[in-house]
Amino acid sequence: MSATFLHLTVSRNVAGSSAPRIGVLALQGDVREHSGVLRELGCEVVEIRLPAHLEGIDGLVIPGGESSVMDKLSRIFGLAEPLRDAIAQGLPVLGTCAGLIMVANHIEDAIAGQENFGGLDVTVRRNAFGAQVDSFETAVSIEGVTGPALQVAFIRAPEVIAVGPGARVIATLGDGRVVGVAGGNIIGVAFHPEITGEDRVHRMFLDVVAQRALQQPTTVDA
């Protein structure tokens, strides 16, 4: 566990909370798996289904699933605009698989009328790795993550096909395809670390949460 994450936990203990409060977008997708990893890392998890659920969260995970369904449901429940605003204002976000699509500024092969939250200066292609039957597991190394390569799952995964100046590549496959990017307050990966029990991507995300918390002004009651 990183020093910054420990610092955040201690700081929030002083403020009366025992753990970083992380939201998981719970409209569709592998919500339970992400929530389990976060709880194992000591986080308080909030399932986000309505705008009011965003109040007081320190970061947000957007899970894998179906990006077009997430888009439609987020608009139906009035979450789309509040989420765009929160991300634009610096809320730390981890997007995995469909979550990467939702935080990308541009989507290639989007369905008609599909929208996203944006915030990450990349273009992604939906379902670039094929259909459900083409799913596979492989080892991926990520910039900034120590230790052996991560064993992760690719399930109808997107591919990052363009990276703008506001983002950087943090993971590629052996054939050069880009499957991990980061920029500002956002980390996006094309794969599922939570399905294989890998928690180092979430730890990296919690470092971003910790760094932002240290930059926020502290309010002390008189």
Q: In angstroms, rounded to a whole number, what is the distance separating the alpha carbons of residues 68 and 133?
A: 20
Considering only CA atoms, which of 164, 195, 197, 194 is closest in space to residue 181?
164
Q: In angstroms, rounded to a whole number, what is the distance separating the alpha carbons of residues 60 and 23?
A: 5
* Marked catalytic residue, from 159, 192, 198, 202: 192
34 found inside a domain: yes
Q: In angstroms, rounded to a whole number, what is the distance separating the alpha carbons of residues 72 and 70?
A: 6
Its pTM stands at 0.88
* Per-residue pLDDT tens over the stretch 110-165: 899 999 999 999 999 998 887 787 789 999 999 989 999 999 999 999 999 999 99
b/e per residue, 161-186, with b = 16+ CB within 10 A?
Answer: eebeeebeebbbbeeeebbbbbbebb
131 found inside a domain: yes
The single residue listed with the structure tokens 């379902």 is: 127
Catalytic residue flag (residue 192): yes
Q: Return the pLDDT at 50.
A: 97
Q: How many domains does the chain have?
A: 1
Q: Return the pLDDT at 2.
A: 41
Q: Return the pLDDT at 134.
A: 76
Q: In angstroms, rounded to a whole number, what is the distance separating the alpha carbons of residues 214 and 15?
A: 13
Q: Return the pLDDT at 131.
A: 76
Contact 37, 194 (CB under 8 A): yes
Considering only CA atoms, which of 109, 49, 101, 55 is closest in space to residue 80?
49
* Marked catalytic residue, from 33, 34, 97, 202: 97
219 CB-contact burial (10 Å; exposed 0-12 / middle 13-18 / buried 19+): exposed
221 found inside a domain: no
Catalytic residue flag (residue 97): yes
222 found inside a domain: no
55 CB-contact burial (10 Å; exposed 0-12 / middle 13-18 / buried 19+): exposed
Q: Return the pLDDT at 215.
A: 83
Q: Return the pLDDT at 217.
A: 67
Q: Return the pLDDT at 17.
A: 52
115 found inside a domain: yes
Q: Show the domain range for 127.
A: 3-215
Taking 50 as the pLDDT cut, the residues of the chain under it are: 1-16, 222
220 found inside a domain: no
* Marked catalytic residue, from 33, 34, 159, 194: 194
- CATH (domain of 92): 3.40.50.880
Q: Which amino acid is residue 168, in one-letter code?
A: R
Residue ranges of E strands in 44-155: 44-48, 59-62, 93-96, 104-108, 120-125, 136-140, 150-154
41 found inside a domain: yes
